[in-house]
Structure 1
Amino acid sequence: MNLDHHKNSVQENGFTIINNIFSEEEIEKIGQVIQNIDTSKETLRKSEDLFAIRQFLKEIPEIPDLIFNENIKKIITEIFGEKYVVVKSIYFDKPEKSNWYVAYHQDLTISVDRKASLPGFGPWTTKQNQFAVQPPLEILENIYTIRIHLDDTNENNGALKVVPKSHSKGICRPENIDWSIETETICKVEKGGIMIMKPLLLHGSNRTTNGKKRRVIHIEFSDRQLPEELNWSEKLS
């Protein structure tokens, strides 16, 4: 697996897609573990349109061993760097009839263990006893996200749409996208494939129209130390 092309694509365009990272069998095992979880936990969000588990790797101890196969380890080391660790993980399930539509946005917050008054950190939000904050730009610019696809995903079941290269423009408001010069790319990913993206890449997704579900595991990685008053709320090396 030669990753130079993918490394360049992430730096230049803000994203890349690599298929065939997980075998059919590996995806099956991950799916089985998810089906058997205790759905009464606080970190879960369940509605007709979306089923989500925050702190996914922490909540389900069997999952990390299934996810960090040789392919993923190689990708983290070669594309991100030796010192990168997991700092956030979420599982999303958009069911077959989901009308869940996500407008263009950037991922601007990190999850931390407490609230602290620090220069450059803010605004703050709290969801289900979890603290999220917008950190200084250099922390955001250093994060990489891996999205593992447990189903085939295309424009008919809510594949991500992105604005290539938008990750290199700092924090930008989606309503200021100039469509006369920007383009939109739909990120089709096969079951068992992954998408790597930078959080500042403008991205969104449309409603599902083909009656096929879309399950995605979203994992963020950083190599940065936070100020000593704060810790990442979910850190796995």
Structure 2
Amino acid sequence: MKEQYLQNHKEFVLKKGFTVINSVFTDNEVELITEAIQKADTSRENFRKSDDLFAVRQFLKEVPEVKELIFNETVKTIIREIFGDKYFVVKSIYFDKPETSNWYVAYHQDLTVSVDKKIEIDGFGPWTTKKNQFAVQPPLPVLENIYTIRIHLDDTDENNGALKIVPESHAKGIYRPETIDWNIETEEICNVEKGGIMIMKPLILHGSNRTTDGRRRRVIHIEFSDLELPEELQWSERMN
């Protein structure tokens, strides 16, 4: 991918809080990623399977075979050119909303990070603990530093739960969804083609509508930072 093309995407994500780049993965690469996921041992506790959701926490640790498939040369170039050359993985999730799933996700910001332990530390809190996994809301500069890549394994549009976002809301700090003033804010639907990616800042207000056309939506969500956490706190999924 040409440097100027990626520079345009970098400027867009910094200004608007998101951008979409299609044709990052070929159909064959998507197929290989899908096969690796299907072969994984779903009995482990980081796998959650129900009628309307299949999700994998700590995805890159649980399904290590996908790492070299995901971090192809195109993705490495995107990370280097748009984020910076010191960025590393700090969180990864896979989720599959099947055809029967009809989830609605209200507008929210992604306000927590995954860490290795719970300790009292200034500026960090509130905390949540699920199955020995620790999440905490860090100080604002930590959240502002993160970039998220969402890899789409299916065509996604407004009919099957594409992400809807409020452009530029990532630049407004902690933004409570109930205070959105639709007289001044706009909503945008982020259509992404199969094999494409959406890059977003976690502070952008985002949500998704219910699926109306019975198509599934499979997404790999990976967060990146180049910051070290203070004192003895570590990113729980840190991966270079």
Q: Is residue 232 from structure 1 mapped to residue 226 from structure 2 by the alignment? A: no
Following superposition, the deviation at residue 51 of structure 1 comes to 0.9
| Alignment partners' CA distance in 2, 1:101 and 1:129 | 27
Q: How does 1:27-46 map to 2 (within 5 A)?
A: 27-46=30-49
Amino acid across the alignment from 1:165 = E
2:77 counterpart SS class: helix
Which of 142, 151, 154 is equivalent to 2:154? 151
Which of 107, 130, 133 is equivalent to 1:130? 133
Amino acid across the alignment from 1:65 = E
Match of 2:76 in 1: 73
| Alignment partners' CA distance in 2, 1:29 and 1:120 | 42
Q: How does 1:42-191 map to 2 (within 5 A)?
A: 42-191=45-194
Structure-1-length-normalised TM-score: 0.99
Following superposition, the deviation at residue 46 of structure 1 comes to 1.6
Superposition RMSD in Å: 0.6
| Alignment partners' CA distance in 2, 1:128 and 1:14 | 32
Which of 178, 200, 207 is equivalent to 2:210? 207
| Alignment partners' CA distance in 2, 1:114 and 1:130 | 8
Identity among equivalent pairs (%) = 73
1:77-110 CA distance string (max 9 Å, x none)? 0000011000000001000011111000000000
| Alignment partners' CA distance in 2, 1:220 and 1:77 | 14
Amino acid across the alignment from 1:164 = P
1:98 counterpart SS class: coil
Match of 2:221 in 1: 218
Following superposition, the deviation at residue 227 of structure 1 comes to 1.2
Ranges in structure 1 where 5+ consecutive residues have no aligned partner: none
| Alignment partners' CA distance in 2, 1:48 and 1:163 | 30
1:191 counterpart SS class: coil
Match of 2:195 in 1: 192
Following superposition, the deviation at residue 36 of structure 1 comes to 1.1
Amino acid across the alignment from 2:119 = A
1:54-73 CA distance string (max 9 Å, x none)? 00001111111010001100
| Alignment partners' CA distance in 2, 1:199 and 1:48 | 28
How many pairs align? 237
Match of 1:11 in 2: 14
2:232 counterpart SS class: coil
Following superposition, the deviation at residue 127 of structure 1 comes to 1.4
Amino acid across the alignment from 1:225 = E
1:12-52 CA distance string (max 9 Å, x none)? 00000000000010000000011111111111112222111
Amino acid across the alignment from 1:14 = G
| Alignment partners' CA distance in 1, 2:109 and 2:164 | 12
1:156 counterpart SS class: helix
| Alignment partners' CA distance in 2, 1:128 and 1:90 | 15
2:68 counterpart SS class: helix
Following superposition, the deviation at residue 125 of structure 1 comes to 0.1
